[in-house]
Structure 1
Amino acid sequence: MLKLTYTEGSFYLECLSLSLEEWVAKRAILSLRIGKPFCLEPSTASFLLPVDVPGVEKLRMEARRVDGEIIDLSGCDAEYLEVTLRGSWLSDGTEDNVGVFVTMMSDRMEFFLHKLWQESQVCTSVLSE
């Protein structure tokens, strides 16, 4: 399962070994126990990957071949590729853009996408130094 966490100023992607159902059940129980609202709805989430990260072309091929209904790739500009995923958005029900997005794809695709995202973070931090 891929988990994308959106905060006011950042975004973080994780690859988890739990099934989507297990993770949602645990979050629902946590919300009930702490008395916080819990809103889960079908949605999409997007993030950018630099086109010069090694493996982006392989991602394009794999996305078309394996998980075309869950992942969509489109070029933003000469420097970035937009990755759009279909899955579920979990939030406290407010209208802000803070929450968690979860989706499931093949284990191979999840791992590969997570690896590319991690590599893009390393490239971004090196460029900003």
Structure 2
Amino acid sequence: MLKLIYTENGFSLDYLNQSLEAWVTTRVMLALRSGSSLCVEPSQAAFLIPVDLPYLDQLLAAAAAEMGEVLEVTTCDDESVEVVLQGTWLGSDVASEEGVFVCRLSDRAEFLLHKLWQETQLSTSVLE
């Protein structure tokens, strides 16, 4: 399962070995027991990655193999591609810009996306 955490400063991507259903159930139970609001709804998330990263061609092949259009990778410009994921949004309310997006893809697609995300973060930290 992939987990994208959106904050006011950007977002991060994590790979979890837990099932999507178990993770969402735990999160709902936590909100219920703590008395906090939680909105859970089907949604999509999108982010950009550079085109010059390794494994990108493998991600394109994995996206083509995904059933039900859960993962889509499209070219934006000469420098980046957009990754669009279908999954579940969890936030404090419907209009919240901060929250967590979770999705389940094939093991290969999740592995590749996580690796590409790590490469992106490494490239960003080197440039800074």
Sort the TM-score into its range (normalised by shorter chain): over 0.9
Give, as a single letter, the amino acid of the residue that structure 2 aligns with 1:60: L
Normalising by structure 2, we get a TM-score of 0.94
Check whether the contact 2:62–2:108 (CA below 8 A) recurs between aligned residues. Answer: no
CA offset at residue 123 of structure 1? 1.0
The corresponding residue for 1:103 is 103
Unaligned runs of 5+ in 1: none
SS of the equivalent of 2:69 reads coil
1:19 is matched with 19
Q: Distance in 1 between matches of 2:125 and 2:80?
A: 16
Q: Is the 8 A contact 2:39 2:93 kept in 1?
A: yes
Q: Which moved more, 1:84-93 or 1:71-80?
A: 71-80
Partner of 1:127: 127
Contact 2:3/2:100 (8 A) holds in 1: yes
Moved over 3 A (4+): none
- 2:85 is aligned to 85
Query: What TM-score does the superposition give when structure 1 sets the normalisation length?
Result: 0.93
Unpaired runs of 5+ residues, structure 2, are: none
State the one-letter code of the partner of 2:49.
L
Tell me, what secondary structure is at the counterpart of 1:11?
A: strand
Q: Does 1:114 align with 2:114?
A: yes
- For the aligned residue pairs, the C-alpha RMSD in angstroms reads 1.2
Give CA deviations for 1:29-88 in whole Å, capped at 9, x if unaligned. 100111110110000000111111111112112211235611011111111111000000
Percent sequence identity over matched residues? 51
